[in-house]
Amino acid sequence: MSHQLLISTLILSPLIGFLINGLRYKRHSANVAGGVATAAAAISFLSAILIFMELLAMPKEGRQIAVNFFEWMTVASLKINMGFLVDPLNVIMILIITGVGSLIHLFSVSYMHHDEGAAKYFAYLNLFLFNMLVLVLGDNLLVMFVGWEGVGLCSYLLIGFWFKDSDKAAAGMKAFVTNRVGDAAFLLGMFLLFVSFGTLNFQEINNMVPADPTFSWLSPLTLGTLFLFIGATGKSAQIPLYVWLPDAMAGPTPVSALIHAATMVTAGVYMIIRLNPLFLHTPNTMLVIAIIGGLTAVMAASIGLTQWDIKKVLAYSTVSQLGYMFLAVGVGAFTAGLFHLMTHAFFKALMFLGSGSVIHAMHEEQDIRKMGGLKKHMPITHFTFLIGWLAIIGMPPFSGFFSKDEILWLSFHSPLGHPALWALGAVGAVMTAFYMTRLMALTFWGKSRVPQDVHPHESPALMTIPLIVLAILSAFAGWLGVPHVIGAALGHLPNILAEFLSLNIKPIPNLAEANVTTEIILMSVSVGFALISAALAYHMYVRNPELPGKFTEKVKGLHNFVYNKYFVDEAYEGSIIQPLVQTSKSIWFYVDVNFIDKATYWISDIIKGGGSLVRSLQNGNLQTYAMYVAIGLVMTLTFILVR
Amino acid sequence: MPLGGILFITIFVIVFGCILLLLASKLGRRVYDPVKFQTYECGIPVQEKKDTKISVKFYLTAILFIIFDIEIIFMYPWATTFKDFILSGQGLYVFVSMMVFIGVFVYGLFWEVKSKALEWD
Amino acid sequence: MGTDVFQIAVNCIKLVIVFLLMVQAVPLLVWLERRGSAFIQNRFGPNRVGPLGLLQLLADAVKFLFKEEFVPANAVKFLYYAAPVAALVPATLAFAAIPLSTPVSVDAFEMFGQTWGPYTFLWQGYEINVGIVYVLGVSSLAAYSILMAGWGSGNKFSLMGALRASSQIISYELALGLSIVGVIMMYGTFNLTEMIAQQQGTLSFQFLGHTITSSWLPNWGIFYQPLGALIFFAATFAESNRLPFDLAEGEAELVAGFHVEYGGFKMLLFFIGEYGHMLVASALMATFFFGGWGIPFVGVAEVQAWAATVVGAGTSASLLTGLVHFMVFTLKLAIFLWIFIHVRWTLPRFRYDQLMELGWKTMLPWALFNTVLTSIIFLIAHS
Amino acid sequence: MLNTDIFTQIGLNHYLFLSAILFVIGMAGVLLRRNAIVLLMSIELMLNAVNISFVAFSKYSGKMEGQIMVFFVMTIAAAEAAVGLALAVTIFKRFREVNIRFFEHLKG
Amino acid sequence: MNPEAFLFWFLSIVTVSAGLAVVLLTNPIYAALSLAMTMVGVAAVFVTLNAYFLAGVQLIVYAGAVMVLFVMVLMLFDLKAEIQAFSRGNLSGFLKIGSVAMLGGLIIGAIVMSSNSLLGNNLPDLVVEADGSKQLGKLLFSKYLFGFEALGVLLMVVAVGAVALARSKGGTHAKH
């Protein structure tokens, strides 16, 4: 009972916040709305902590809280419960969601307080939290799908939050439509799983997975997991469906931090981890996931090298980091994937909020060419951003180092891994170090290129406090999952995360027989290259600011190609969207106008004619109507009596 | 069954009243005067006026009376059985359900007061 | 109504007596009112006819009877005549349901060569087990006679007066009905006889499993429901169109309310109706809140024992017991009636908007509050 | 000798007949009268008729549900009367007329 | 003739004739007063059926509240006897009267035909003698609680709606 209460508090308090703000949004001032929303998120976070404690108090084998609120639907053999399951895997997720969520709510109170739609904004934000929690906690695919769609909706609403700007509205639309493609695949995958297993419940599915892997490409499970993965590429912005995420930066910056960096976009990773026995059963899919993940990591990072918009850089960085996560889960390193998910949630939320702080200070200016030298104006933002930067480029001992390094190592070493995958990851890491340093350099260091009429200033405490908290988390969260090489070196530090997750995730089989030397070499190589690349970037953008321009002159074609994001958007436009639009237009003309419309006109003409005949019956006189009732009654009674 | 008694006394009272009225009408002396039979309006000649304006408040009062009267009637069975419910351990449940009802009632009353349906001027 | 001729006859006679009791109370009350008002206003009042002017009422009655019969030209004749008769019915019906004293048991006896009895006769018109609901229902019929009179007279003023009077009656009926919810809850019954029976003895009640008793306070409803009693009594003033709520009669505005066109005996019938309502109200007050016919500190059994020593056990003792209790009841009634009269000559009249405001916005919420409070205390006390 | 049982032995059917007759009277009122308020009154009559049969069934089948239903019906009827009369008042204020013929604006 | 039967027949005659008067009297006020009479008669019928509490409620709600409202409204409208109280029309009039008569015949026929099957064979004697109102209360607050609360909301809505209606300026239609 108390579990039920806790979980309902956890899930419902954002919903209640949404209702309060949503139903009365016109009357609320931004501060009241923000207070309500933040309180809702904080209550949710508190109950998440309580649930976490409950879970810790349980014996290790039985760390599960399952509650079933009601039976949602029963159709033939399909029985869906509105059930929620808390276990070590998603308790981490809910802590991240509600914790980072609360911080971002807090940040938003200050960030949005000039906006007239602030109450609406907070309502959406709370609704998002609610849906995300449903997604994460649902004990079956359908409940998860409800949350999945719900977060998509909120993402759409929030990207298009400033819908009066048609570009931003279009960005929201793009995100929504792209996600629909993924969602369709997700649904297909769900159907295939249901056909194979006869249930949608995660635990039942995971228990029913056959022991031996399937190597066939056409087996229903391979297809099903592939479809699920395509669904995940939609939500988590992977090749080929990543195109929406950079455009999603049209939304308010805290939204980008919460939805498009820390939580929603990781839903795909979470889903795969949740179903990890099933995915392990289909190595083909895993291979696809790993390749896609690696390619995305490199490709997005390379685009990130050339972008000028601070949020776009971060967005491509997010896509790239998500690629890492997929690379991790693709090689079977689920713990590492989740670990990176967590650290990424911290440092990327931190960097987005930091960029929000910068944008706020620069009066809505996002172009890094017009920044520079902000270090002295915004010390706190700079310092926290610095920590985020150190984390993301994988500088030991910051959190990103541990998670990224574990992924790289396992992509090399795991039975599903391959040196080529490691190479992809390493290249990505080098690029990451370069473009993040470039971002730091152009924004905070070097000479100021700030226009004369803008006077940057440090953000208020309400905005810096979340930054500081997140900075602390980004700095130290890595010690939760110390790789065992380093752990051994430092005196048998345990990998807390892996142990905690042992209920959900089986360890990689050949982890014990790892070659320590190889591991250390690989680690040093990637860190070393990353540092060199960072130093190069520092050299190029701080010391010799004219160098990059010369360099791009030389490789102009390549630069343009990359700068325009490999023309992927244009390719999609030409190959998919335009043909689709043309076909739809011709269908509209031939089928809709010429056939269906005409048919409905005929039908309506017939009905009109009949109606004008019958209309005389409806003469508006109540007594005539009563007479019809009486006659009907007489007829019915006669029928009953005579029968 | 008290119905017989009720019928008896009703008929008795009606008959009694009628007899008295009849008696009074026979005993009184009558003097004819056309002015006397005119409608009494404080002594001035009757002003025949169509459409006497009568405030809509009267029906409002009557309509509200019906509604609230029923709500009160609903409390009667509750009041008689409340003690039994308490003794059988369902007191709180019945109490809360009645409080919900009363809450709705109070909301209605509050609305009427707020919308000035009960203002007389 | 009874199983044999004797019982039916006695019951019928009893009903007639109850009615006559009400009718004869009217001249007495009129006299009391006139003398009382004179006393309050430092005058003499009627003192010429008979001792203390007591025969004045008889003279008035005769005068009423010999008044000229008259129907206004615009009147609707049937309604004009039916209204005063209809005014009598609700008060009578309600009054007959109120227990006036202890039941009288008659032993078996011989008459006309036949054994009759034994019987038990109730000292009331008839017993109804949903007494309160019945009384409320019957007295809500009073609005008809007012409306019939007002419309039947064919006079704008009387119609206006009738509408105002009936609006007032129905407005206060809400507070009245709501104020006794607490009473019903306390006694757990609609039956008036049971209510009186529960008020015998000294104050004692259950609270959180303890029984609390008082040595000298009678177990009357007033001690449990003071607010309810206050609202109930105030509402009955409005119900019986008495001052300070006699807006229908507001002489300055509406000449004399719905009975402008009435005179002579028809007016007297309205009077009987109005005083009948007063009687019913006082009797209900006594029944709900002051122990009915019960004598404080003295139980029925003690009175019976005393009566047996005076006239010997059996029918006559039972009759004497009934009489004693009836006297007590009459005394209680008289006190309330005197309060009615006293208030009439003490307080000024409300304005109509004040009247409605008081009914809807003050008494109704307070009665509601009383109900909620009673139920909360009840819930706490009994669980 | 005429069998007088039908007059002296009152049973369920008697009450049902009474109810049916009142119902039909009310229905005739609804169909035939032109005054909107009289129509409303006829509807009340029909509801009362139905209430009689509810109570009769309640008594003769020994179930309290019938009385509960009557209680509910009364409530609904009162609510209906309140709204109906409010409508009538509004329409009267507009047209100075309560003839049902004037309420024909809903014709098709 | 036993008292029960006497009461029944007496009350039926009163009720039915008052009901007929409602429909047949052309003066709406007399119709309303007859309806009040019918209501009182129905209350008495309830008493013969041992439904004491309902009889009281019938008196309070119908006779005391609803009919007072009707009478008040009629008096305010000051409607005298109507010249054309009944609706006209040969075909529809015939249809109406015919259907009403048919309906009456059919209902009575149905009652007669089904008189044996209405209650089953063994008629239990009701024990709602003394405690009827309490039984009603107990049922109302356990099994029919939802209906009770729903009615509370309905009444509130009606209170708001009726007042808003009665105070409105009289619709959007043009005057005819």
> Rounded to whole angstroms, how far apart are CA atoms A58 and A47?
17
What residue numbers bound the domain in which C308 lies? 69-382
In sequence order, what are the beta bridge partners of C104?
C121
The verdict on a CB contact (< 8 Å) between D104 and A621 is yes
The pLDDT tens digits of the residues spanning E129-159 come to 556 778 888 888 888 888 888 999 998 888 8
> Rounded to whole angstroms, how far apart are CA atoms C74 and C260?
13
What is A443-505 written as a DSSP string?
HTSSS----TT----PPPHHHHHHHHHHHHHHHHGGGGG--HHHHHHTS----HHHHHGGGT-
Which of the residues in chain C have pLDDT under 50?
none
Give yes or no for residue B53 having a pLDDT over 80: no
CB neighbourhood size of A388 (10 A) = 31
Q: What is the pLDDT of residue A526?
A: 85
The pLDDT tens digits of the residues spanning D46-56 come to 999 999 999 98
What is A596-610 written as a DSSP string?
IIHHHHHHHHHHHHH
Q: What is the pLDDT of residue A416?
A: 83
Show me where the domains of chain D are located.
Answer: 5-102
Q: What is the pLDDT of residue E175?
A: 45
Residue C245 lies in a domain: yes
The verdict on a CB contact (< 8 Å) between A627 and D104 is no
Task: Examine residue A379 and say whether the peptide bond preceding it is cis (omega within 30 degrees of 0).
Answer: no
Do C170 and C213 touch, CB atoms closer than 8 A? no
Residue B103 lies in a domain: yes
Looking at the complex, does the CB of residue B37 fall below 8 Å from at least one CB of chain E? Answer: no
Structural domain total, chain E: 2
Within 8 A of C357 by CB-CB distance, chain B residues are: 118, 120
Question: Between the CA of residue B109 and those of A334, B25, B116, C359, what are the distances in Å?
Answer: 62, 49, 11, 12
Shortest CA gap E115–chain B (Å): 27
> Rounded to whole angstroms, how far apart are CA atoms A344 and A404?
10
What residue numbers bound the domain in which B44 lies? 3-114
Which of the 8 DSSP states describes residue D103?
-
CA-nearest of A503, A463, A332, A320 to A400 is A320
Give yes or no for residue E128 having a pLDDT over 60: no
The verdict on a CB contact (< 8 Å) between B67 and D96 is no
Residue E18 lies in a domain: yes
Whether there are 3 or more C-beta pairs closer than 8 Å between A and C is no
Q: Which residue has the tokens 């009934």?
A: C322
Shortest CA gap E33–chain D (Å): 11
Which of the 8 DSSP states describes residue E80?
-
CATH code at position E67: 1.20.120.1200
CA dihedral D43, D45, D47, D50 (to 10 degrees): -140
CA-nearest of E37, D80, C139 to B63 is D80
Question: Quick one: which H or E segment has residue A48?
Answer: helix A30-57
Do A329 and A273 touch, CB atoms closer than 8 A? yes
Residue E96 lies in a domain: no
- Asked if residue E144 and residue E72 are part of one domain, the reply reads no
Do A358 and A377 touch, CB atoms closer than 8 A? no
Burial A222-234 (b: 16+ CB within 10 A, else e): bbbbbbbbbbbbb
User: Considering the entire predicted model, what is its pTM?
Assistant: 0.65
Shortest CA gap E68–chain D (Å): 11
Looking at the complex, does the CB of residue C7 fall below 8 Å from at least one CB of chain B? Answer: no
What is C38-52 written as a DSSP string?
HHHTT---S-SSSGG
Give yes or no for residue E173 having a pLDDT over 60: no
Q: Which residue has the tokens 């690989």?
A: A522
The pLDDT tens digits of the residues spanning A245-262 come to 888 888 888 998 888 888
Question: Average pLDDT of B4-27?
Answer: 87
Shortest CA gap B27–chain E (Å): 30
Within 8 A of E66 by CB-CB distance, chain D residues are: 44, 77-78, 81
Q: What share of chain D is helix, strand, coil (3-state, %, to 5)?
A: 80, 5, 20
The verdict on a CB contact (< 8 Å) between E137 and B78 is yes
Query: CB-side exposure of A213: number of CA atoms within 13 Å?
Result: 13
By Cβ distance, the residue of A624, A627, A637 closest to E106 is: A637
Residue E116 lies in a domain: no
The residue ranges of DSSP E strands in chain C, in sequence order, are: 101-106, 109-111, 114-116, 119-123, 202-207, 210-218
CB neighbourhood size of A560 (10 A) = 12
Least reliable range by pLDDT among A6-20, D92-106, E65-79:
D92-106
- Residue C243: partners with Cβ closer than 8 Å, 6 or more residues away: C237, C343, C344, C345, C347, C349
Do C171 and C360 touch, CB atoms closer than 8 A? yes
> Rounded to whole angstroms, how far apart are CA atoms A137 and A95?
12
Looking at the complex, does the CB of residue D2 fall below 8 Å from at least one CB of chain A? Answer: no
Structural domain total, chain C: 1
Q: What is the pLDDT of residue D31?
A: 85
> Rounded to whole angstroms, how far apart are CA atoms A328 and A451?
43
Amino acid (1-letter code) at residue A71: E
What residue numbers bound the domain in which E135 lies? 131-170
Q: Which residue has the tokens 């929690």?
A: A133
Structural domain total, chain B: 1
Between these two residues, D11 and E47, which has the higher pLDDT value? E47
Secondary structure (3-state) at B65? helix
State the 10-residue block means of pLDDT for chain A, 643 residues long: 79 89 72 88 92 87 83 80 88 91 91 84 92 91 91 91 87 88 91 88 87 84 90 88 87 88 89 90 90 91 88 91 91 89 91 89 83 84 90 86 87 85 89 90 84 82 88 87 74 77 79 75 86 87 80 80 79 82 86 85 90 78 81 85 78
- Residue C368: partners with Cβ closer than 8 Å, 6 or more residues away: B102, B105, B106, B109, C178
Within 8 A of A630 by CB-CB distance, chain E residues are: 96, 99-100, 103
Looking at the complex, does the CB of residue A627 fall below 8 Å from at least one CB of chain E? Answer: yes
Residue E102 lies in a domain: no
Do D11 and D27 touch, CB atoms closer than 8 A? no
CATH code at position B32: 1.20.58.1610
Shortest CA gap C39–chain B (Å): 32
Within 8 A of A638 by CB-CB distance, chain E residues are: 106
Minimal Cα distance from C138: which residue of E? E59
Do C282 and C177 touch, CB atoms closer than 8 A? no
Residue C1 lies in a domain: no
Give alpha helix (H) positions in A198-309. 202-208, 220-235, 244-247, 253-257, 267-274, 276-281, 283-304
User: What is the CATH number that goes with domain D5-102?
Assistant: 1.10.287.3510
| Radius of gyration, CA atoms only, chain C | 22
The verdict on a CB contact (< 8 Å) between E72 and B7 is no
Looking at the complex, does the CB of residue A641 fall below 8 Å from at least one CB of chain D? Answer: no
- Could you tell me whether strands C202-207 and C210-218 are parallel, antiparallel, or unpaired per DSSP bridges? antiparallel
Q: What is the pLDDT of residue E120?
A: 52
Do A469 and A346 touch, CB atoms closer than 8 A? no
Residue A574, exposed/middle/buried by CB under 10 A (0-12, 13-18, 19+)? exposed
Give yes or no for residue E172 having a pLDDT over 70: no
By Cβ distance, the residue of B51, B63, B74 closest to D85 is: B63
The pLDDT tens digits of the residues spanning C306-327 come to 888 888 778 888 888 889 999 9
Q: What is the pLDDT of residue E174?
A: 47
**Contact partners of A by the rule of 3+ C-beta pairs under 8 A?**
D, E
Secondary structure (3-state) at A392? helix
Angle of the D36-61 helix axis to the D65-95 helix axis, nearest 10: 180
Residue C147 lies in a domain: yes
Question: Between the CA of residue C23 and those of A159, C17, C139, C341, E70, what are the distances in Å?
Answer: 85, 9, 17, 18, 31
- Asked if residue E139 and residue E69 are part of one domain, the reply reads no
By Cβ distance, the residue of E57, E100, E168 closest to D74 is: E57
What is C242-304 written as a DSSP string?
-TTS-GGG-HHHHTTGGGTT--HHHHHHHHHHHHHHHHHHHHHHHHHHS-TTPBTTB-HHHHH
- Asked if residue E136 and residue E78 are part of one domain, the reply reads no
Residue C250 lies in a domain: yes
CA angle C196-C202-C204, nearest 5°? 95
Question: Quick one: which H or E segment has residue A73?
Answer: strand A65-75
Do A380 and A467 touch, CB atoms closer than 8 A? yes
Tally C-beta pairs within 8 A across C and E.
75
Which of the 8 DSSP states describes residue E117?
T
Whether there are 3 or more C-beta pairs closer than 8 Å between B and A is no
Tally C-beta pairs within 8 A across A and D.
32
